[in-house]
């Protein structure tokens, strides 16, 4: 039996330890690299449920900004100021007063209604009894139905005047006529204010 002397045995042990260390390093190096630089995670399935459905057609209409509408919530072009011809009794013709103050004959446009929100009447009659109530009003349609009436006390000169404001407005498809119950009254001035809306 051959014996390995001490220097040879020491070298053999050193080489064996070196070989084992190299093998261990080679096996662990990929794990460290994978762990530090490219970690992997198990796959997870995620189900997304109850997501809302957006219907563009159901979105509300865009509201007009303050600079585009009046205090009545209407476009300036839809607002109407009407005045009668003071030379004609009963207000058979109405004139729309433009923003520049010029009047033009007015009829309600096809496919629209007129909503009256305010009216002013002035009637002159020297024979009215001072201090007595007199009436002024609007008639509508062929049946001459009264849709708005106001009463005021005659002044010492027999003049009657009244101003009416209607919060809900009066919707009309035809223009009204005006009247005074006193037969001799001459209605000198009638002013109507309102706005146009689509007929529905």
15, part of any domain: no
69 class by beta-carbon count within 10 Å (0-12 exposed, 13-18 middle, 19+ buried): middle
Residue 167 lies in a domain: yes
Let me know if residue 102 belongs to a domain. Answer: yes
- Number of domains composing the chain: 1
55 domain residue, yes or no = no
Sort residue 108 into left (φ over 0), alpha (ψ -120 to 50) or beta: beta
- pLDDT for the residue 176: 92
Say what the pTM is: 0.60
Domain-located, residue 48: no
In a domain, 40, yes or no: no
- Residue 60 domain-assigned (yes or no): no
Model pLDDT, residue 172:
94
Domain containing 78: what range?
Answer: 71-198
> CATH code at 142?
2.60.120
Position 9 scores a pLDDT of 62
Question: CA torsion angle for 104, 110, 111, 116 (degrees, to 10)?
Answer: 40
Q: Specify the pLDDT at position 40.
A: 60
Determine the pLDDT at residue 192.
Answer: 93
pLDDT at 187 over 60: yes
Q: Which of 43-57, 93-107, 155-169 has the lowest mean pLDDT?
A: 43-57
In which band, very low, low, confident or very high, does the pLDDT at 200 lie, cut at 50, 70 and 90?
A: confident
Residue 66 lies in a domain: no
Q: Is the pLDDT of residue 28 over 90?
A: no
pLDDT of residue 15: 64
DSSP assignment string, 126-149:
TTSPTT-EEEEEEEETTTTEEEEE
């Amino acid at each position: 039996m051959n014996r390995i002397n001490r220097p040879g045995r020491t070298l053999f042990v050193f080489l064996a330890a070196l070989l084992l260390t190299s093998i261990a390093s080679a096996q662990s190096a990929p794990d460290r690299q994978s762990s530090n630089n490219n970690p992997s995670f198990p796959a997870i399935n995620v189900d997304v449920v109850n997501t809302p459905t957006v219907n563009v057609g159901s979105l509300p209409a865009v509201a007009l900004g303050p600079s585009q509408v009046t205090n009545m919530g209407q476009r300036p072009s839809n607002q109407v100021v009407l005045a009668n011809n003071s030379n004609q009794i009963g207000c058979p013709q109405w004139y729309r007063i433009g923003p520049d103050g010029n009047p033009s004959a007015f009829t309600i446009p096809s496919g629209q209604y007129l909503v009256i929100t305010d009216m002013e009447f002035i009637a002159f009659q020297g024979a009215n009894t001072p201090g007595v109530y007199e009436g002024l009003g609007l008639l509508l349609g062929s049946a001459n139905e009264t849709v708005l009436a106001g009463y005021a006390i005659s002044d010492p000169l027999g003049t009657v005047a009244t101003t009416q404001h209607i919060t809900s407005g009066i919707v009309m498809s035809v223009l009204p006529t005006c009247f005074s119950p006193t037969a001799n009254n001459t209605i000198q001035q009638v002013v109507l204010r309102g706005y146009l809306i689509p007929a529905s």
